[in-house]
Structures are given as structure tokens and as C-alpha cells.
Amino acid sequence: MVSEAPETSQELSEVLEDLRRHLLWQEEDGGRFLQVDARLAAELRAAGMARLRAQTANKAAPAVAAPPAAQPAPAARRETPVAKPVEAPVQARPAAGPLPGVVEGERPTLDEIRRELGDCQRCKLCSGRKNIVFGSGNPRAELVFVGEGPGAEEDAQGVPFVGAAGQLLTKMIEAMGYRRDDVYICNVVKCRPPGNRNPEPDEVEACEPFLRAQLRAVQPKVIVALGKFAAQTLLRDTTAITKMRGNWREYEGIKLMPTFHPAYLLRQPAEKKKAWEDLQQVMKFFGKQPGQRG
């Protein structure tokens, strides 16, 4: 039997598109097996960045006259709020439009996403920050941790999870058998909320496309969502973290484990046992024993 050839230009372009995506994937994966058309890959990435740009156009931006460096330093605050309501759900928002990199092949790199973020003025958090806290760690990590937003120490250093909660997170990561720089760590919002308050819906909305693009760039096997903001934002689910935690979920085809935020664990150490059970499920998925590296 004669094999069927694509008959319409529509079919032909679909076949070509498939091939392009495959070639791009090979390039992103190190290009070990195929030579990719670099111009084509650049075009596809540019398409992803154009989409990101369209989604994050300064629709939520306040009138900001001065760059962040010119703003007065905010009053010192604790890294984590004491009265953070664990049960209050993130306000439900409609799903955002198509996100960069959600279409296979449009996979911007972390550097490109960071460049696109620029000296971000897309929401009011820009006025109080010292530094944008984009993310840190292995850009090809199999495991990503997503927190809520930077605290004072993170804001000062421009690095996520380096304060007291961060030290606990680092211990949790190491107890799982990873080094901190094996994994990738980022937050729902990239700028420190003043007075250690929760991020507001418009701030989450402005930052969320960048988080989703980061996850698409890293393409981990597992995401650990730390606390209600990460879990509820990524899953678009207003269920309380106390109910969500410990149950595998899926985010864009990636396994996601919701668990307690380390700041909450500092306030409620008795809950560490539950968080450790959640992390052990992640370790089991990766076939890791406690303290075992590699």
C-alpha cells in the first residue's frame, strides 16, 4: 500500500511545524543528535518572548516616575508574617491567555525571560523593592521549588530563600539528597511585598506569566509548591493548603506536590513532620533515599 502523503497545505504545514518543534527540542537538549536551524530556533523563541511581552504589557503598572533605586528604602520588616492566614484562599482569577512556551517549541531561556522582565514596573511592588528576585539554581533542574515572594533578606541580596525560611528550605532540600544548586528556586512574585504582607491579586497577575515562563524554560520533572500562594496560583485552585498538601497534582503535564511554606513551618514546627512526608513522596518519585546525593 502506498503511504499517504499530506494532501493539503494545512497538513503540510502541520508536519513542518512538528518537525520544527522537534528540532528546537533537540537544540534545547544540547543538540546532541541533530543540527538545528539556529535561525528557526531563534524565531520560535522570539515568538515565545513576543507572547510574553503581549501578556505582560504594562496594564497593571502604576504611574512610576523614578526607578526603584531612587525610592526610599522601606522600613525593616520580618522576613515572614506572623499572622499569615494559611486558610484564606488566593482570590480566584480567570486563566491567563496562552503563555510563552506552553506551545511546545516556544521555550524561552531563563536569560531571555529575565531580560524581558527588565527593570519591571508592571505592578506597585516595584516602588518598594531594592532588587528583583528572579530565581536561582540549576536552569535544567529536575526539581523546582516555588515560594510566595521575597522577604527583606531576599530583597537585599536579590536571591530567593536566603533568610530564615530560606535556611530551613535549604535544610529540607539537603535532607532530600540534593544540594541547593541542584534545584531551581523561584517565587510567585519577584518583588518584596511591603510590610511583609501577602501579595495582592493584581501583583500576582502581573508576575504570573514570568513564573509560568520560568517553569516552561526549566521543564522540571517535579514542582514543589511551597504554601498556598504557589499552590493556588499554579493550580488555579482555591482549596486550602492544609487540604491540598501531600497530594500529587499536575501543572502543565509536570507533577506538582503542594506542601507547607517553610515560614509557616518556622511558626508551627509540629507541622514539619507533614511537610517531610510530602517531600518523601517527591524523593520516592526520584528514587532517592534521605541524605543520598546524586
Binding residues vs ligand URA (CB under 6 A): 79, 147-151, 154, 160-161, 163, 165-166, 187, 263
Q: Which is nearer to ligand URA, 165 or 176 (CB)?
A: 165
Q: Report in angstroms how near the CB of residue 2 gets to ligand URA at its nearest.
A: 60
Q: Which is nearer to ligand URA, 113 or 225 (CB)?
A: 225
Q: Which is nearer to ligand URA, 139 or 158 (CB)?
A: 158
Q: Which is nearer to ligand URA, 49 or 143 (CB)?
A: 143
Q: Report in angstroms how near the CB of residue 138 gets to ligand URA at its nearest.
A: 17
Q: Which is nearer to ligand URA, 105 or 147 (CB)?
A: 147
Q: Report in angstroms how near the CB of residue 237 gets to ligand URA at its nearest.
A: 19
Residue that is written with C-alpha cell 502604576 in the block: 62
Q: Report in angstroms how near the CB of residue 154 gets to ligand URA at its nearest.
A: 4
Q: Which is nearer to ligand URA, 101 or 160 (CB)?
A: 160
Q: Report in angstroms how near the CB of residue 122 gets to ligand URA at its nearest.
A: 19
Q: Report in angstroms how near the CB of residue 229 gets to ligand URA at its nearest.
A: 7
On whether the CB atoms of residues 233 and 251 are closer than 8 A, the answer is no
Q: Report in angstroms how near the CB of residue 86 gets to ligand URA at its nearest.
A: 13
Q: Is 167 exposed, middle or buried (0-12, 13-18, 19+ CB in 10 A)?
A: middle
Residues 32, 101: Cα–Cα separation, whole Å: 22
Q: Which is nearer to ligand URA, 134 or 178 (CB)?
A: 134
Q: Is 289 exposed, middle or buried (0-12, 13-18, 19+ CB in 10 A)?
A: exposed
CB-closest chain residue to ligand URA = 147
